[in-house]
Amino acid sequence: MALGTTSDKAKRQPLVNARFVEFLTQSWSYLFLLGLVVFFSLTGTGFFSVRNFSSILTTSTLIMLMSIGQTYVVITAGIDLSIGWTVGLSSVTTARVMRDLAAGGADVEYAMLAGVFAGLLVALVPGLVNGLLVARVKVPPFIATLGMFGIVRGAAFLLTDGQQVVRGLSAELREALRGIGNGSLLYHIPDHGLVWFRQPPDLEPTQIRQVSQLLPYPVLITALVVVVFAFILARSKFGRHTYVIGGSEEAARRSGINVDRHLIIIYVICGFTAGIAGVLHLFRFTAGAPQAGEAALLSSVAAVVIGGTNLFGGEGDIMGAVVGSLIIAVLQTGLVILNIDSIWQFIVVGVVIIIAVLVNQLQTALERLQSNV
Amino acid sequence: MSEAILTATGVSKHFGGLTAVDNVDFAVHPGEVVALLGDNGAGKSTLIKCISGVYRPESGTVIFNGADITHQPPADIRSRGIETIYQDLALAENLDVGANVFLGKEVTRRLFGLLPVTDDSYMRQEASGVLDELDIHIPSLTQKLVNLSGGQRQAVAIARAMYWNAQLVIMDEPTAALGVPEQRKVLALIRSLREGNIPVILISHTMHDVMAVADRMVIMRRGRVVANILRSDATEEIIVRHIVGSAENGENAVMI
């Protein structure tokens, strides 16, 4: 006797527009992003321009980088509340190492390289401790990373002696940081056309205002990180095991997956992408700031959820988080261009998060109806 | 009868002062379905866990295919071919059939001859093959398990055991959570395992299931084996009397 007859029966009486609803629930965030872009392009002067789009992409990198690691964690039914301060810790550490090495007479390039290395390395520490607490000591992720939230915050401020920024970065160092943080691989300049690598230094002030960055370095770096981690999650054995753990930790253990080790690596990845965000933040703003990622933490969780990743684990992808980050960045920029108080951005993002969760639930309910169990 | 594939001799397991399994002898022969019966707390699950390696018995030996597996870790016992399918099935319901058959043992291929990626089409194809062998039809192999029925999920768990060359399948209450048509399908699967000469140990409270598929019934009570009855000699009444204890002595007699 063949199994499957019950669901065959269910298929004979299809839900009205089930396919359409399924399409909507799976791709609403993409459509919503498109809708926002169209809306702001029609209503806001200056929104629809290469210059503005490039600025939106650059703005989105902070949240996007944080949301990449966060996606991995959330798929395992966890959450990492500490990465906002990991961004700051990494930014501050990078700034200090660069400053001190440069002050000690090292080449700027060498100081920068060592600083970046230190900033990325230090970001792995909270991730590692989070992972150990969650996997080995079985502390709920919310609590473990909330504790780490406080610890990393304190550590970041200790490194600046309680100041809002790391003081004493030399002008030469700042210039070099800006070259990457505010630079672009490709520029479009009226009367000059396309220019690679560097903005010509002899531009008129009016020309400078019309320069478009076609491939800003922060965006390129973020894109690279997105591609690498999206590939690992979607295609590799490691990615598959991440979904297995999110679906059923018990099934993962019984099938021989080393769940503890896997969870530790995932929290380290989450610290790592926050570390990249911290280093980039320093390059963009040339000031090592403990609170660099403070506001972005909840936005990164929002981006993950808006992108369709299930907070109960087992479902989600990096592209969702990318779209979620872009939605937040478009809202931020669009509301400013429409001259609406930027406070409204919080309210709109809040509403979008709730819609995202409702759509996710609708999808689950729909699947249940279809399978008719 | 042919030589036993699994022989447990004098197995005992205590929890504190409680004797969960008391000096039990138990054997399974190739191609037979043995029902393990008994009231709650009779020691069925504990005995099974002593076989699958989850528990370490304090005394006694378990021999499987001629090898002593008494104190081996569960993973080693599994790799020797004893597959236990628990009530919760241990499946990742957020993934498809192929992913579940290959859970933890994913097959990879090299993308551009370089990057190792999961070979989903191969795993799906292999899963489809073993499902065909078991005569299980699942409408779409790309469906997540959460969209399948309870019986189909049970089938996937069995298919996984089959694919990895199970030589003995232990099933704990496989029909407990299922509707009647699905129960029948699971029983059909147990029969097809037997036809493939793969023995099955079936723990069940459902007398109907037991009478339908078991070749032999082993009945436990208070940690001991109190009866070992061939299907041809069994009636529901005899079995129930052994389970409640009224067969050995007059006390506890219950009218059925």
Q: Could you count the other beta carbons within 10 Å of the beta carbon of residue A16?
A: 6
pLDDT above 50 for A11: no
pLDDT above 50 for A297: yes
User: A299 in a domain, yes or no?
Assistant: yes
Find the CATH number of the domain harbouring B149.
Answer: 3.40.50.300
How far apart (Å, rounded) are the C-alpha atoms in residues A88 and A181? 16
Q: Could you count the other beta carbons within 10 Å of the beta carbon of residue B121?
A: 11
- Which of A3, A5, A229, A363 has the most B C-beta neighbours within 10 Å, making it the best mutation to test the interface with B? A3
Residue numbers of the domain that contains B235: 6-244
pLDDT above 60 for A178: yes
**Mean pLDDT value of segment A7-22:** 56
CB pairs under 8 A between A and B: 109
Q: What is the DSSP string of A169-236?
A: --HHHHHHHHHHHS-BSEEEETTTEEEESS--TT--HHHHTT-EESSBHHHHHHHHHHHHHHHHHHHS
Tokens of A97: 């190492």
User: A373 touching B, CB under 8 A?
Assistant: yes
pLDDT digits (tens, 9 = 90+) for B204-243: 888 888 888 999 999 999 999 998 999 888 888 888 888 8
User: A167 in a domain, yes or no?
Assistant: yes
How far apart (Å, rounded) are the C-alpha atoms in residues B250 and A71? 65
User: B90 in a domain, yes or no?
Assistant: yes
pLDDT of residue B256: 38
Identify the weakest region by mean pLDDT among A206-210, A309-313, A340-344. Answer: A206-210
- What's the ipTM? 0.81
User: B93 touching A, CB under 8 A?
Assistant: yes
User: B76 touching A, CB under 8 A?
Assistant: no
How far apart (Å, rounded) are the C-alpha atoms in residues A64 and A300? 7
pLDDT above 50 for B149: yes
Domain count along chain B:
1
Q: In whole numbers, what is the pLDDT of chain B averaged over residues?
A: 87
User: B95 touching A, CB under 8 A?
Assistant: yes
Predicted confidence band of residue B78 (pLDDT cuts 50, 70, 90): confident
Amino acid at A187: Y
Predicted confidence band of residue A18 (pLDDT cuts 50, 70, 90): low
**Mean pLDDT value of segment B95-114:** 91
Beta-bridge partner residues of B33: B200
Domain count along chain A:
1
Residue numbers of the domain that contains A97: 61-183+214-363
- Is B92–A2 a contact, with Cβ atoms under 8 angstroms apart? no
Contacts 24+ apart (CB under 8 A), A209-214: A210/A51, A211/A51, A211/A187, A212/A49, A212/A50, A212/A51, A212/A54, A212/A187, A212/A188, A213/A51, A213/A54, A213/A58, A213/A183, A213/A184, A213/A186, A213/A187, A214/A50, A214/A54, A214/A184, A214/A185, A214/A186, A214/A187, A214/A188
- Is A1–B155 a contact, with Cβ atoms under 8 angstroms apart? no
User: A259 in a domain, yes or no?
Assistant: yes
- Is A236–B118 a contact, with Cβ atoms under 8 angstroms apart? yes
Chain B residue with CA closest to A11: the answer is: B139
Give B-chain residues touching A239 at CB under 8 angstroms. Answer: 118
- Is B148–A5 a contact, with Cβ atoms under 8 angstroms apart? no
User: B251 in a domain, yes or no?
Assistant: no
Chain A residue with CA closest to B140: the answer is: A4
Return residues 107-146 of B near A (CB < 8 Å).
Answer: 108, 111, 115-118, 135-139, 144, 146
Predicted confidence band of residue A16 (pLDDT cuts 50, 70, 90): low
pLDDT above 80 for A7: no
* Alpha helices (H) along B5-149: 44-52, 74-79, 97-101, 120-133
